Amino acid sequence: MKLFVYTEKDNLPWLQYILDEFCRIERAIFSIKVKCYNDQPERDSESLYYLKGNKSDVFQSTKNDLSLPYNLKIIDFKEFQILDGTLGHSNYWMEYDLFWNAFFYLSRLHEFQLSQQGVQTKSYSFRTKMPKNFNWKIPHVNFLFKEFKSQIKLRLPEFKFKKDEKAILELSHDLDYIEKTPVLILKQTAFNGFNFLKSPDLKSLSKAIKFIFSKSNYWNFDYWQDVENEYQLKSIFYVYSKVKTGLKQTILDPSYDVTKNKKLIDKLLEIQKEGWQIGLHGSFYSYNDFDLLEAEKNQLEQQLQFEITKNRQHWLNYHEMSTPELHQKLFEVDSTLGWNDSIGFRASVASKYRPFNHVENKPFQYYIIPQAVMDSNIYDYGYGKEREKILDGIEIINTCKKLKNTEFSISWHSRTSSKDYNWSPGYVELIKIFSKAKL
């Protein structure tokens, strides 16, 4: 079956993208075709209209100033938030512009427009300048899609959906360090020192000093396997592949070399045979360099003798105008889109989705699994509020389980189960919550 949605010509590309993602995520047993409205004399009761004025079924807001990167206003609406200026009235199926809100969030239009003005967020949520009341923890798009789905079921019951699927949680580990190095000591001590300056106390000072002098084991594959086996879950390890060397790479990238570390390759092959996945952890500068990222991928594939289809960039590095093109050419799935400093959904969606190409006005043809929680969100950037941040992570997991049709990632760096960090209890608590009483 096919549902037709009629709208003005300017809306065709982005609206088709949103409705395609809706159909896939919400498991529709029909397709939706967006067509140009040409003032047809008769309305079709089995079609849907997204038009300016009172001919519309779904309210269409005036787009002027609704997508500008500055001076945005967000308002609370039911369990989610919408753009101020997108409210209509009760004469429509929904009293707000559901489609535009979904596109604004899912396409990350705000970040794209910032990039057009020379502002790169560098995967830090505070650089987006979103309103203070905006809540990154809410998967707004999933709530919007559920609203639309309920309206279709109510008003067009002949259009059916498959049974909702349980939430999928992708467990992941960025393999940055497999041993303690002087460069890591320098970087982590700087971070610990920064946290001490923010909140001076003996505990934080002791932590910073202890890290410098302690000896700790970072070869922790068996630990993560044991934890995940207990809950019948498997994770993906994102592995660095050193191609380019130099001072910057020594400081910013992991230190190991897969071409010279047979022990590491043997271990990766072992866990891959047991059901764990291996992806590429693209180096610090590869997010903007196709030849470098391709060489890293090819090198890791040569060492492991199987294809690498998933990626996550080191430090979540991402450039709006170049990174998606690289990922589309090299991978099937990417999990870079998350925040370094905050828990939450960067595209306000908790499901696997295709990103949107604003330059060519069409979707990219690879998928993103959104990263919702990372260990450093809690223990580095949330220092002093760790319990609060873990509770935020629990809230996200419970929300995604209730929504269903969700697929999202949490990431714990593999070294953080060591006594230097002791960050693994938070990971265990989150996967325990996810595994309990699956809805």
The predicted-structure confidence for 385-407, as pLDDT tens digits, reads as follows: 999 999 999 999 999 999 999 99
* The pLDDT of residue 148 is above 70: yes
Q: Which two tokens stand for residue 333?
A: 């799935």
End-to-end CA distance of the chain: 30
Residue 184 CB-half CA count within 13 A: 20
Averaged pLDDT, 244-254? 93
What residues form DSSP beta bridges with 408? 169
pLDDT of residue 413: 97
Split at pLDDT 50, 70, 90, the class of 39 is: low
Q: Stretch 31-57: mean pLDDT, rounded?
A: 86
Pairwise CA distance, residues 311 & 330, whole Å? 9
Give the pLDDT of residue 438: 47
Specify the length of the chain in residues.
Answer: 439
Question: Strand pairing partners for 31?
Answer: 2
Residue 418 has pLDDT above 60, yes or no: yes
How many C-beta neighbours within 10 Å does residue 130 have? 16
Instruction: Give the pLDDT confidence of 306-350 residue by residue, as tens digits.
Output: 999 999 999 999 999 999 999 999 999 999 999 999 999 999 999
Q: List Cβ neighbours of 396 (8 Å cut-off, separation of 6 or more).
A: 137, 343, 344, 350, 372, 373, 408
CA–CA separation, 121 vs 111, rounded Å? 7
The count of other CB atoms within 10 Å of the CB of residue 26 is 19
Mean of the per-residue pLDDT values of the chain:
93
Alpha helices in 199-232 (DSSP H): 202-213, 221-230
Distances (CA, A) of 58 to 158, 291, 372: 19, 46, 30
pLDDT band of 65, cuts 50, 70, 90? low
The pLDDT score that the predictor gives to residue 41 is 57
Q: Give me the half-sphere count of Cα atoms (radius 13 Å) on the Cβ side of residue 103.
A: 25
Residue type, 242: K
Helix (H, G, I), strand (E, B) or coil at 206: helix
Q: Which CATH architecture has domain 168-180+215-435?
A: Alpha-Beta Barrel (3.20)
Strands 333-334 and 407-411: unpaired
Q: Tokens representing 307? A: 């294809």
Q: What is the DSSP string of 235-280?
A: EEEEE------SHHHHHHS----TTT-HHHHHHHHHHHHTT-EEEE
For 275-291, how does the pLDDT look when each residue is reduced to its tens digit (9 = 90+)? 999 999 999 999 999 99
**Structural tokens at position 155:** 């008003």
Pairing state of beta strands 31-36 and 2-7? parallel
Query: Average pLDDT, stretch 414-432?
Result: 96
Q: Could you tell me how far CA 169 lies from the centroid of its own chain?
A: 12
Q: Supply the pLDDT for residue 196.
A: 67
Question: Higher model confidence: residue 146 or residue 44?
Answer: 146
Determine the 3-state secondary structure of 136 from DSSP. Answer: coil
Which residue type is seen at 250?
T
Q: Residue 439: which pLDDT band, with cuts at 50, 70 and 90?
A: very low
Domain boundaries, given as residue ranges, for the chain: 2-155, 168-180+215-435
CA distances from 34 to 11, 17, 107, 324 (A): 9, 10, 18, 25
The answer to whether 310 touches 331, Cβ cutoff 8 Å, is yes
pTM of the entire structure? 0.94
Lookup: tokens for 127: 């650089």
Structure-block tokens of residue 359: 């330059």
The pLDDT, as a whole number, for residue 89 is 81
Nearest CA among 268, 252, 275, 236 for reference residue 410 = 236
